[in-house]
């Protein structure tokens, strides 16, 4: 019987899958392929993501794409000789525009967050950009038609190699384009992500949080805006002053992508590009600026290009914040959050026990013990503020994103009062969780809680028993924590 838990993961700087030593996606080594192409004096063609209809995939009928008219061309064939550039005057959220054939606003809104730069709020993401887009890539020196990008996928960084053949019709890119016709980093980044997800069609539809996490490998926080805490703008303000990506989603309308009278597109992903505070009639006004990845159709209500926090929470359903580390949550500069991650499995018949509605099997789920220490003297705690974030992500093992089926997943947190050894069915029979995350059909669910120092048990599970899947369980805490998996032999026997 395969183990339900692979290993405790605390990735060090040089471990495979770390930021400095990413896994070679599909076994392709960028440097070796580049040098091979240069020696042969030929432009690289990717044999594992070929320039044909299979790499485009099956688009929705609404896309109305005639595959017979698609011609894959390199940038040098689309602009004047010697004129293609990887970037022109750096990278900006204004560089790109969404193509008409693909509904991937969730991905492009994440690119907007990645490339936001606001001098007033120091909204910078330079380190994140350098991690995703390795430096030195150009159409000039050592150009061989090959590029590479890095993404975080299910607990590990990967390095993705592509060629620069792009799908076109009548010499125009059919997917993401650049507002500067000879700038190609947006189209190449989109192609690399399409390769990771299986095809361009696999990018159709999604949640901005997915791409934000794949860009950072860090912590994701979601806020439902009609339940937002009163201090949310303060969190956004501190986030905007750190290396943090933010995006939001508007409410779904009866008609897909319908535009409201105030210019908000329904069921659409936006980038949060900045926040500010101004005085109006002697009173402070908190403002939020958002970017539509379409490059058109913008908010036309009060404050024009920006909107008040009140209008923001009324017109948008959720806010996603993703960052390398959530230190910005604390006003205390001496307080630093730490993270730990575990990889595990639910296996039908053994460790896939389902929710607490299935008490006869629930106890069989993987168990993780967490001990939260007292705060250090350098840290302070604001009343009502959360001190631990728990993230549960389904670890998809199939390549094509659209073929992945998310189970309904969630988790429970129980207080442990001196109990040791295994946690059997009897232990859970009279226990009430101190926190829980309701089950959702998503790649990742997260909960942001305040837990008193002490010992706890986290039980991640699918809603229904008997569902086999891999998962990644992560915790982020500003306390010193001890996070461990309780080995299977301790709870495998039915009492």
> Per residue, what are the HEC states of the chain?
CCCCEEEEECCCCCCCCECCECEEHHHCCHHHHHHHHHHHCCCCCCCCCCCCHHHHCCCCHHHCCCHHHCEEECHHHHCCCCCCECCCCCCCCCCEECCCCCCCHHHHHHHHHHCCCECCCCECCHHHHHHHCCCCCCCCCCCCCEEEEEEEECCEEEEEEEECCEEEECCEECCCEECCCCECHHHHHHHHHHHHHCCCHHHCCCCHHHHHHHHHCCEEEEEEHHHCCCCHHHHHHHHHCCCEEEEEEECCCCCCCCECCCCCECCCEEEEEEEEEEEECCEEEEEEEEECCCCCCCCCCCCCCEEEHHHHHHHEEEEEEEECCHHHHCCCCCCCCEEEEEEEEECCCCCCCCCCCCHHHHCCCCCEEEEECCCCCCCCCCCCCCCEEEEEEEECCCCCHHHCCCCCEEEEEEEECCCCCCCCHHHHHCCCCCEEEEEECCCEEEEEECCCCEEEEEEEEECCCCCCEEEEEEEEECCCEEEEECCHHHCCCCC
Q: Which of 82-96, 106-120, 368-382, 392-406 has the highest mean pLDDT?
A: 392-406
Q: Report which of residues 41 and 483 the model is more confident about.
A: 41
Look at residue 1 in the predicted model and tell me its pLDDT. Answer: 39
Q: Are 20 and 14 in contact (CB under 8 A)?
A: yes
Residues 6+ apart with CB under 8 A from 164: 74, 75, 145, 146, 147, 184, 188
The predicted pLDDT at position 457 comes to 95
In whole angstroms, give the CA distance from residue 131 to residue 117: 17
Cβ–Cβ < 8 Å for 419, 220: no
Q: How far apart are CA 203 and CA 201, in angstroms?
A: 5
The pLDDT score that the predictor gives to residue 293 is 81
Integer Cα distance of 23 and 32 in angstroms: 15
pLDDT tens digits, 42-72: 999 999 999 999 999 998 777 788 899 999 9
Q: Which residues are the active-site residues? A: 105, 268, 292
Share of the chain above pLDDT 70, in %: 88
The pLDDT of residue 213: 92
Q: Which two tokens stand for residue 329?
A: 């949550």
- Tell me if 453 sits within 8 A of 372, measured CB to CB: yes
Please compute the mean of the pLDDT values over residues 25-32 and round it to a whole number: 97
Does the pLDDT at position 385 exceed 90? no
Q: How many CB atoms lie within 10 A of CB 103?
A: 22
Residue 241 has pLDDT above 60, yes or no: yes
Is the pLDDT at 94 greater than 80? The verdict is: no
Residue 9 has pLDDT above 50, yes or no: no
Query: Percent of the chain having pLDDT more than 90?
Result: 47
Long-range contacts of 37-40 (CB under 8 A, 24+ apart): 37/144, 37/145, 37/146, 38/142, 38/144
What is the mean pLDDT of the segment spanning 415-427? 78
Question: What pLDDT, in 10s, does the model give residues 250-284?
Answer: 998 767 778 888 889 888 899 998 899 988 888 88
Quickly name the fold that domain 336-486 has.
Jelly Rolls (2.60.120)
**pLDDT at 297 > cutoff 50:** yes
Going by C-beta distance under 8 Å and a sequence separation of 6 or more, which residues neighbour residue 437?
Answer: 390, 392, 410, 411, 445, 446, 447
Mean local confidence (pLDDT), 451-456: 92
Question: Is residue 5 scored above 70 in pLDDT?
Answer: no
- Among 175-184, 219-228, 232-241, 312-321, the least confident range: 175-184
**Confidence at 15, pLDDT banded by 50, 70, 90:** confident
Cα–Cα dist 27/4, whole Å: 26
State phi, psi for 494 to the nearest 5 degrees: -70, 130
Q: pTM for the whole thing?
A: 0.87
Q: What pLDDT sits at residue 494?
A: 44
Please tell me the distance from the alpha carbon of residue 221 to that of residue 115, in angstroms, as a whole number.
20
**Mean pLDDT of the chain, nearest integer:** 86
Q: Which of 7-11, 29-33, 62-66, 473-477 has the highest mean pLDDT?
A: 29-33
Domain extent listing, the chain: 5-215, 218-327, 336-486
Look at residues 25, 42, 138 and name the one whose alpha carbon lies nearest to residue 88.
Answer: 138
Q: How confident is the model at residue 122 (pLDDT cuts 50, 70, 90)?
A: very low
Mean pLDDT throughout 147-164?
95
- Tokens standing for residue 470: 């891999």
Question: Higher confidence at residue 375 or residue 299?
Answer: 299
**336-486 shares the fold of 218-327:** no
The lowest-confidence range among 28-37, 97-106, 236-245 is 97-106
Architecture of 218-327 per CATH?
Alpha-Beta Complex (3.90)
């Amino acid at each position: 019987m395969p183990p339900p838990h692979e290993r405790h993961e605390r990735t060090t700087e040089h471990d495979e899958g770390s930021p400095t030593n990413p896994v070679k996606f599909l076994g392709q080594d960028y440097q070796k392929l580049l040098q091979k192409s240069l020696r042969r004096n030929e432009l690289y063609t990717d044999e594992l993501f070929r320039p044909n209809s299979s790499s485009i995939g099956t688009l929705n009928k609404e896309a109305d794409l005639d595959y017979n008219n698609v011609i894959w061309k390199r940038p040098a064939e689309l602009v004047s000789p010697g004129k293609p550039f990887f970037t022109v005057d750096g990278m900006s959220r204004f560089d790109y525009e969404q193509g008409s054939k693909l509904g991937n606003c969730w991905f492009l809104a994440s690119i907007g967050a990645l490339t936001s730069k606001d001098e007033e709020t120091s909204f910078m993401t330079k380190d994140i950009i350098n991690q995703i887009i390795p430096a030195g890539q150009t159409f000039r020196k050592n150009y061989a038609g090959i590029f590479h990008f890095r993404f975080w996928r299910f607990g590990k960084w990967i390095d993705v190699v592509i060629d620069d053949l792009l799908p076109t019709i009548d010499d125009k890119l059919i997917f993401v384009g650049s507002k500067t016709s000879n700038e190609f980093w947006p189209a190449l980044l989109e192609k690399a992500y399409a390769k990771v997800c299986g095809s361009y069609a696999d990018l159709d539809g999604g949640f901005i949080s997915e791409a934000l996490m794949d860009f950072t490998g860090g912590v994701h926080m979601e806020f439902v805006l009609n339940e937002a805490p009163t201090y949310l703008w303060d969190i956004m303000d501190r986030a905007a002053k750190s290396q943090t990506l933010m995006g939001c989603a508007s409410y779904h309308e009866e008609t897909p992508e319908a535009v409201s009278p105030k210019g908000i597109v329904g069921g659409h992903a936006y980038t949060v590009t900045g926040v500010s505070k101004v005085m109006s009639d002697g009173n402070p006004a908190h403002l939020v600026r958002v970017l539509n990845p379409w490059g058109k159709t913008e908010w036309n209500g009060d404050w024009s290009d920006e909107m008040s926090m009140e209008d923001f929470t009324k017109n948008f359903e959720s806010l996603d914040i993703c960052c390398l580390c959530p230190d910005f949550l604390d006003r205390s500069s001496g307080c630093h959050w730490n993270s730990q991650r575990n990889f595990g499995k639910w296996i039908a018949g053994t460790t896939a026990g389902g929710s607490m509605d299935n008490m006869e099997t629930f106890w069989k789920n993987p168990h993780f013990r967490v001990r939260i220490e007292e705060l250090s003297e350098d840290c302070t705690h604001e009343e009502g503020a959360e001190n631990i974030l728990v993230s549960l992500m389904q670890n998809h093992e199939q390549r094509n994103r659209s073929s992945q089926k998310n189970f309904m997943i969630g988790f429970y947190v129980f207080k442990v009062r001196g109990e040791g050894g295994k946690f059997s069915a009897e232990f859970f029979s009279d226990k009430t969780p101190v926190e829980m995350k309701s089950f959702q059909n998503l790649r990742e669910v997260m909960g942001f809680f305040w837990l008193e120092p002490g010992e706890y048990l986290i039980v991640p599970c699918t809603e229904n028993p008997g569902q086999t899947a891999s998962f990644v369980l992560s915790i982020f805490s500003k306390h010193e924590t001890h996070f461990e998996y309780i080995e299977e032999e301790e709870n495998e026997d039915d009492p």
